[in-house]
Amino acid sequence: MAFFEGKNMTGGYGKGPDVINSCTVNVERGEIVSILGPNGAGKSTAMKAMLGLLNLKSGSVIIDGKDISKLSPQDRVKEGISFVPQTKNVFAGMTVEENLEMGAFLINQDYSKVTDEIYNLFPILSEKRKQFVGELSGGQRQQVALGRALMIKPSVLMLDEPTAGVSPIVMDELFDHIIKVKKTNVAILMVEQNAKQALNISDRGYVLVTGENRYSGTGKELLNDPRVRSSFLGG
């Protein structure tokens, strides 16, 4: 039994058609798992289903042996699941410090130690803690987004295309940060477009096609699998 698992999930948005079909994704603590696949394969949907942003018709979501399929997203946050959306993932009109504070909204005791840890993880944020996030660069913003999500000391961190729209150099830097986060014993699940780079740092990966699991395996296996290479990695 994996630490965090979405089992045989089937569902879609509102009354629309099913976007994911009997899709299974799981992740252990201290592991990075990527969900890959072509456009419209239901990668983000699978992740949102695990977060509770859409209603499942069947299947279940389990964390640490506990079924959370019926909980609202807010309640899942309380279970230690953090999510970084692809866009609009920071409070642009607030300072770095305030962004982190909002991340810790649900924590009622002193969280200054957590803040310090995050500043250690992302030193640049410590420098700019009084600046408005709207004024920061794209890469720095992504760090703020990660930092905000880490404030509740999550056991699971879900990232929706963390490197979308940033330059290759910043992308490498971000992946480095994600590896650092993983080392703090967090389970990381991410959806990525930059499949090669993502698989390079992933322990495992899933390839979804039309909402179903097509291939899965360790990062290396998938990278070397000729079928995966030819269809998704550009040869």
Task: Give backbone dihedrals phi and psi of 187, rounded to 5 degrees, phi first.
Answer: -85, 125
C-alpha–C-alpha distance, residues 6 and 204, integer Å = 15
Name the DSSP class of 163. T
Residue 112 found at the interface with other proteins (CB under 8 A): no
Shortest distance in whole angstroms from residue 91 CB to other proteins: 4
Sign of CA dihedral 166, 104, 48, 121: positive
Q: Would you say 21 and 210 are in contact if contact means Cβ atoms under 8 Å apart?
A: yes
Residue 102 found at the interface with other proteins (CB under 8 A): yes
Residue 91 found at the interface with other proteins (CB under 8 A): yes
The residue from 15, 66, 88, 183 that contacts other proteins (CB under 8 A) is 88
Burial of 11 (0-12, 13-18, 19+ CB in 10 A): buried
Residue 115 found at the interface with other proteins (CB under 8 A): no
Amino acid 30 reads G
Residue 140 found at the interface with other proteins (CB under 8 A): no
Residue with tokens 């150099």: 169
Shortest distance in whole angstroms from residue 98 CB to other proteins: 6
Site for other proteins in 151-170 (CB under 8 A): 152
Task: Give backbone dihedrals phi and psi of 29, rounded to 5 degrees, phi first.
Answer: -65, 145
Residue 179 found at the interface with other proteins (CB under 8 A): no
Instruction: Tell me whether strands 187-191 and 32-36 are parallel, antiparallel or unpaired.
Output: parallel
Residue 4 found at the interface with other proteins (CB under 8 A): no
Residue 101 found at the interface with other proteins (CB under 8 A): yes
The residue from 7, 24, 69, 98 that contacts other proteins (CB under 8 A) is 98
Helical packing angle, 168-182 and 112-121, nearest 10°: 140
Site for other proteins in 23-82 (CB under 8 A): 73-74, 77-78
Residue 94 found at the interface with other proteins (CB under 8 A): yes
Interacting residue ranges for other proteins, rule: CB under 8 A: 73-74, 77-78, 83, 85, 88-94, 98, 101-103, 105-106, 134, 148, 152
